[in-house]
Amino acid sequence: MKKLGTSVLALVMLAGCSSEPTKSAQEEKPQPKPPEFVTGRTAFQRMLANARLWARDAQPYRLQSQASKDSKGHDGKSAIWRAGFASPSRGASKPFGWSGIEAADAPARGVSPGNEDTYSSGNASTQIFDLNFLKTDSDKAFEIAQKHGGEKLLAKNPDLNVIYFLDWNRGENELVWHVIYGDDRDSAKLKVAVNASTGEFDRVEK
């Protein structure tokens, strides 16, 4: 009788153990984060926080997107953005990058700093500006560019990349979005300039 009771207890315990759900190796493995695509201003804000840790007076002078296999930039957003910041007090500049994807053709996910370099306020290509001038984001700049040749161009070539470049135009004293239809400025099919403060169409660039 004692042996019978022991056997029954063992069976009950075995049944209790087998009733517990088993987790597959796939469920236990952490799932990769989905790609994140953001506008230029959003990426700028994320990089600015890191730039201010480098130098309290850091100000931007350039922002540009990078097309990838995950995003062609057709909505004014990108998974990869790069910015240049300068510190007048340090006489130095420093690039920063932001990535929202994990891919071979992309930098590490999140914000990553580059190497410090010298900075001169007299250099027109590194003219710093106040981020408050950026009132029109890259998605709006894309909408405007579409109305000035971009829509027809993408209808003919839907796989064409669209990249964005933001800088200060010293001659016109304005912040400008350059919406570039192509992989770079030199080989672009179309380049449209949009005033980043007013949101108005500026010109089709040559």
What pLDDT is attached to residue 145? 98
Q: What is the pLDDT of residues 57-88, one digit of tens each?
A: 999 999 999 998 888 999 999 999 999 999 99
Q: Which amino acid is at 79?
A: A
CA dihedral 80, 86, 87, 91 (to 10 degrees): 140
* H or E element in which residue 86 lies: strand 80-87
Q: What is the pLDDT of residues 87-116, one digit of tens each?
A: 999 999 999 999 999 877 778 899 999 999
Decide if pLDDT at 9 tops 50: no
Domain boundaries, the chain: 40-205
Higher pLDDT: 27 or 58? It is 58
Question: Which stretch of 17-26, 103-112, 129-138, 195-204 has the lowest confidence by average pLDDT?
Answer: 17-26
* H or E element in which residue 10 lies: helix 2-18
* H or E element in which residue 201 lies: strand 201-205
> Across all residues in the chain, what is the average pLDDT?
88
